[in-house]
């Protein structure tokens, strides 16, 4: 076993230990791993299963069920575009085309430079001021194509 | 002179419109001008069209300015802010803003007035009076009070809350649970989020009372991951309530326990369905369970469990503090208390409207909404979330209550109202309803899992005008299968937006 695998095991074990004895601990464990690692590596699945006395299929099944859990690294910034009805009513279908073109990627993809990952989201609860996007932890309201470009340019300039 | 209190909401929508930057600019501007202010980050009042809505405490009450951008701040100071400045954005006393003053705020009574995580401020506006009273009552007396109030579940299904609680109380078990369904996934709804961000103790108090009523010592709030700010507020509020002895092994020294834990979903719409939510809480895939058994009999980990929506639990503190009659006297027929409508989509004055049941959709649209944001004529309104019907103008005089909407083939659901102007393509909206179901189906039952995928394909053929009449028949048949054969409301109600779109807007389907 190489050194990075050992450290992954340590990370998994400490994430599991932190939720010890809790009802349905697998979800909080997966959230905490994704927060630390940015995604849930395939190698972590048997480790989680062993530490939690679950089958690998159970762990894999949960990771696969929920949209939030990633099985590969994402970009530095997560861009989530709302595709739900209230945003559609304010032009999100056009915004979606623009966003994909501006970033040069489709949903579920990451830009070549590793800066941005684009994901759809179904409602950010900001429906009175649509269309909405979320970049990392921040939600943005009434986003036009040019405002989106400004936000992206701002993040690119930080590099 | 004591510092002047200035309020800038810390709410997801307010911040999405720049409230954090406005707060920073005001703080810096005050320092630069040598004005001593006490900047409070309150919750939003739900008048999102006025956000960021900045308020200042004066001797004669609060005055408001909005919507304020950071660029407006220097001009505001020059006009006399934080005093009663004569400025274009001045809205006058908060109490005189008709959009807010004409509402009947019961559940959202405190929203916007207080610092959301301040227990003192919560108490100063009647908070924890309900719990105080509940601690002196028997479990049955609490439940009788809730039954008498006429409260029905606000998540969408409108099941009488008191009857659900009675079932849990009457089912013997060593452990029972209270679960709050805060997986507010419907597009066009944000009332739960607003309440939790503006007044989190109201939910915590309601859950604690529920625990006393049914004999549950543990509770969970299942919050969707799309609400990160809400998560931060709830974390802080739960921790403060624990420190103050309002949660834990002995609530207010009563010797009775109630522990509360916040859990975060992971982006699955289906987890808003109560049995799917319970599986998710147990750390599993969020699959629908067969009913019966009801969660009230065998819920979380097979134990009797109350699963209630945020607004249902939120109403509990009012009902216990002010009595069942106070709550029941608002509303009409079997719809008691207040109605929380969320105006969303293409709307000029979007936001949260809490009024007694009985108003018509049109009154709310015109009176509060002020028409479309685009200025074009409104054409379709989807009421009740992504599984609700699209209503044409001929139906906008419907009274907003559970029964009236059901009568016209729609549903009130969680009270989301999404307005579309005349640029909407209803065939695309019908297609999206099926697409959304295909993306979010848990996969357990075939009508939903396969039907939704086939639904997208059939609608595509209708749009492409391939065997149009035949494919519309296939679609009607498919909707029937999903409606009658699905295990839960996801597959069962997806036909509602599809059918209503075809029925009321046939011209968009090539008719």
Nearest residue to B183 (alpha-carbon basis) of B174, B192, B194, B173:
B192
Check residue A5 and give its pLDDT: 52
> What is the average per-residue pLDDT within B343-350?
98
Nearest to B320 by CA among B110, B142, B189: B142
* Residue B387 to residue B364: CA distance in whole angstroms: 21
Query: How far is Cα of residue B287 from the mean position of the Cα atoms in its chain?
Result: 23
Pairwise CA distance, residues B119 & B127, whole Å = 8
Residue percentage of chain B with pLDDT more than 90: 94
Cross-chain residue pair B263–A27, CB shorter than 8 Å: yes
Peptide bond preceding A131 in cis form (omega within 30 of 0): yes
Let me know: does B135 contact B212? Beta carbons within 8 Å. Answer: yes
Per-residue confidence at B458, pLDDT binned at 50, 70, 90? very high
- Inter-chain residue contact B269 with A28, CB threshold 8 Å: no
Answer whether residue B282 shows pLDDT above 90: yes
- A68 contacts B344? CB cut-off 8 A: no
Q: Given a cut of 50, is residue B100 above it in pLDDT?
A: yes
3-class SS string, chain A: CCHHHHHHHHHHHHHHHHCCCCCCCHHHHHHHHHHHHCCCCCCHHHHHHHHHCCCHHHHHHHHHHCCCCCCCCCCCEEEEEECCHHHHCCCHHHHHHHHHHHHCCCCCCECCCCCEEEEEECCCCCHHHCCCEEECCEEECCCCHHHHHHHHHHHHHCC
**Interchain proximity B283–A130, CB inside 8 Å:** no
**Chain B 93-122, residues with CB within 8 Å of chain A CB atoms:** none
pLDDT at B473 over 80: yes
pLDDT greater than 80 at residue A3:
no
Q: How confident is the model at residue B511 (pLDDT cuts 50, 70, 90)?
A: confident
**CA distance to partner chain A, nearest, from residue B121 (Å):** 26
CB-based contacts of A64, cutoff 8 Å, min separation 6: none
| Interval B393-419 mean pLDDT | 94
Which pLDDT score, from 0 to 100, does residue A4 have? 57
pLDDT digits (tens, 9 = 90+) for A45-63: 999 999 999 999 999 999 9
Q: Is the pLDDT of residue A1 over 60?
A: no
For residues B407-427, give the mean pLDDT. 96
Q: Which residue of B has its CA nearest to A26?
A: B283
Sheet of B61-65, strands arranged across? B37-40, B4-7, B54-58, B61-65, B90-93
Question: From the CA of B419, how many Å to the nearest CA of chain A?
Answer: 7
The pLDDT tens digits of the residues spanning A22-38 come to 999 999 999 999 999 99
Question: Which residues on chain B are in Cβ contact (under 8 Å) with A126?
Answer: 12-13, 16, 190
Contacts of A124 in chain B (CB under 8 A): 12, 226
Per CB distance under 8 Å, which residues of A are interface residues toward B? 22-28, 30-31, 58, 61-62, 65-69, 82, 84-90, 93, 121-130, 132, 134, 137-142
pLDDT score of A56:
98
Q: What is the pLDDT of residue B1?
A: 67
What pLDDT, on the 0 to 100 scale, is given for residue A159?
A: 78
Output the CATH code of domain B331-421: 3.10.20.600
Q: Report the CATH fold assignment for A77-157.
A: Glutaredoxin (3.40.30)
Give the whole-angstrom CA distance, residue B256 versus residue B245.
11
A24/B280 touch (CB, cutoff 8 Å), yes or no:
yes
Please, what sign has the CA dihedral across residues B48, B50, B56, B59?
negative
Which of 3.40.30.10, 3.40.50.970, 3.40.190.10, 3.40.50.11540 would CATH assign to domain B4-101? 3.40.30.10
pLDDT at residue number A6? 58
Tokens 């409260």 correspond to B151
Q: Hey, is the C-beta of B425 within 8 angstroms of any chain A C-beta?
A: no
Q: Do A61 and B285 touch (CB under 8 A)?
A: yes
Summarised one tens digit per residue, pLDDT across range B325-340 is: 999 888 777 777 888 9
- β-pair partners for A110: A117
Beta strands per DSSP E along B271-404: 305-309, 331-332, 335-336, 338-345, 351-356, 378-383, 390-391
In A, which residues are within 8 Å of B440 by CB distance? Answer: 122
Q: What tens digit of pLDDT does each residue of B146-184 get?
A: 999 999 998 878 899 999 999 999 999 999 999 999 999
pLDDT of residue B338: 87
Render pLDDT for A92-103 as a digit per residue (tens, 0 to 9). 999 999 999 999
pLDDT band with cut points at 50, 70 and 90 for residue A75: very high
B14, B22, B188: best to mutate for the A interface, most A CBs within 10 A? B188
Question: pLDDT band for position B402 (50/70/90)?
Answer: confident
What residues in A contact B188, CB-CB < 8 Å? 84-86, 123, 127
User: Do residues B221 and B182 touch, judged by C-beta distance below 8 A?
Assistant: yes
Q: d(Cα B383, Cα B400) in Å, to the nearest integer?
A: 10
Fold classification of B426-509 is: de novo design (two linked rop proteins) (1.20.1440)
Q: Is the pLDDT of residue B192 over 70?
A: yes
Mean pLDDT of A136-140: 96
Yes or no, beta carbons of B187 and A137 under 8 Å apart = no
Burial pattern A141-158, b for ≥16 Cβ within 10 A else e, equals bebeeeebeebbeebeee
Domain B119-328 has CATH 3.40.50.11540: yes
**pLDDT at site B331:** 72
Return d(Cα B509, Cα B3) in angstroms, integer: 62
pLDDT tens digits along B103-122: 999 999 999 999 999 999 99
Is it true that B4-101 and B426-509 share their CATH fold?
Answer: no
Token pair listed for A33: 């791993």
Q: How large is the average pLDDT for residues B251-278?
A: 97
Q: For position B155, what pLDDT does the model report?
A: 80
Enter the pTM of the model. 0.97
- By the 8 A CB rule, do B432 and A88 touch? yes
The DSSP 8-state label assigned to residue B408 in this structure reads T
Closest CA to B38 of B50, B26, B49: B26
Give A-chain residues touching B281 at CB under 8 angstroms.
23-24, 27
Residue of A nearest to B185 (CA): A123
3-class DSSP state of B260: strand
Question: Which structure tokens are listed for B483?
Answer: 């409606």
Chains A, B: CB contacts within 8 A come to 159
Tell how far CA B158 is from the center of its chain. Answer: 14
């Amino acid at each position: 076993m190489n050194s990075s695998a050992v450290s992954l095991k340590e990370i998994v074990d400490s994430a599991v230990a932190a939720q010890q004895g809790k009802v349905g601990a697998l979800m909080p464990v997966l959230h905490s791993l994704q927060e630390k690692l940015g995604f849930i590596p395939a190698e972590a699945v048997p480790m989680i299963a062993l530490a939690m006395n679950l089958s690998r299929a159970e762990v894999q099944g949960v990771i696969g069920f929920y949209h939030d859990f990633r099985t590969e690294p994402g970009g530095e910034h997560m861009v989530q575009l709302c595709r739900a009805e209230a945003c559609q009513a304010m032009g999100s279908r056009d915004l979606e085309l623009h966003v994909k073109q501006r970033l040069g990627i489709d949903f579920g993809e990451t830009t070549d430079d590793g800066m941005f990952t684009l994901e759809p989201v179904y409602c950010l609860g900001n429906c009175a001021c649509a269309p909405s996007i979320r970049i990392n932890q921040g939600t943005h309201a009434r986003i036009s194509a040019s405002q989106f470009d400004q936000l992206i340019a701002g993040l690119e300039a930080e590099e | 002179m004591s510092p002047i209190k200035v309020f800038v909401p810390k709410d997801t929508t307010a911040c999405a419109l720049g409230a954090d930057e406005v707060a920073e600019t005001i703080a810096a501007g005050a320092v630069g001008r040598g004005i001593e202010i006490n900047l409070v980050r309150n919750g939003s009042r739900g008048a999102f069209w006025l956000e960021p809505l900045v308020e200042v405490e004066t001797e004669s009450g609060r005055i408001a300015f909005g919507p304020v951008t950071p660029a407006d701040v220097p001009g505001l100071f020059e006009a006399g802010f934080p005093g009663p400045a004569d400025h274009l954005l001045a809205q006058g006393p908060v109490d005189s803003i008709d959009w807010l003053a004409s509402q009947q705020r019961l559940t959202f009574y405190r929203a916007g007035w207080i610092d959301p995580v301040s227990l003192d401020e919560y108490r100063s506006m009647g908070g924890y009076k309900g719990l105080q009273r509940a601690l002196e009552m028997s479990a049955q007396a609490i439940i009788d009070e809730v039954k008498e109030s006429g409260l029905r579940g606000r998540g969408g299904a409108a099941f009488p809350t008191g009857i659900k609680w009675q079932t849990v109380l009457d089912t013997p078990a060593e452990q029972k649970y209270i679960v709050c369904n805060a997986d507010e996934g419907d597009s066009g709804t944000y009332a739960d989020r607003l309440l939790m961000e503006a007044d989190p103790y109201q939910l915590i108090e309601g859950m604690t009372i529920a625990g006393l009523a049914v004999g549950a010592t543990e509770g969970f709030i299942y919050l969707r991951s799309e609400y990160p700010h809400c998560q931060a507020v709830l974390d802080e509020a739960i921790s403060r309530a624990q420190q103050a002895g309002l949660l834990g092994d002995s609530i207010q020294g009563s010797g009775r326990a109630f522990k509360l834990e916040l859990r975060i979903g992971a982006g699955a719409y289906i987890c808003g369905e109560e049995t799917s939510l319970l599986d998710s809480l147990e750390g599993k895939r969020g699959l629908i369970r067969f009913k019966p058994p009801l969660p009230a009999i065998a819920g979380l980990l097979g134990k009797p469990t109350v699963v209630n929506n945020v607004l249902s639990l939120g109403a509990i503190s009012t009902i216990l503090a002010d009595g069942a009659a106070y709550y029941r006297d608002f509303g009409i027929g079997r719809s008691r208390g207040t109605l929380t409508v969320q105006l969303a989509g293409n709307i000029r004055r979007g936001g949260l409207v809490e009024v007694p049941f009985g108003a018509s959709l049109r009154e709310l649209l015109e009176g509060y909404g002020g028409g479309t944001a685009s200025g074009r004529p409104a054409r379709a309104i989807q009421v009740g979330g992504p599984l609700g019907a699209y209503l044409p103008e001929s139906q906008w005089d419907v009274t907003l209550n559970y029964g009236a909407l059901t009568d016209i083939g729609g549903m009130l659901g969680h009270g989301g109202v999404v307005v579309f102007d005349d640029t909407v393509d209803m065939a695309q909206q019908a297609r999206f309803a099926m697409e959304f179901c295909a993306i979010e189906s848990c996969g357990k039952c075939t009508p939903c899992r396969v039907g939704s995928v086939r639904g997208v394909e059939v609608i595509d053929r209708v749009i492409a005008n391939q065997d149009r009449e035949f494919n519309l028949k296939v679609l009607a048949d498919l909707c029937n299968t999903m409606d009658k054969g699905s295990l839960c409301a996801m597959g069962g109600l997806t036909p509602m937006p599809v059918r209503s779109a075809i029925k009321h807007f046939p011209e968009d389907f090539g008719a």
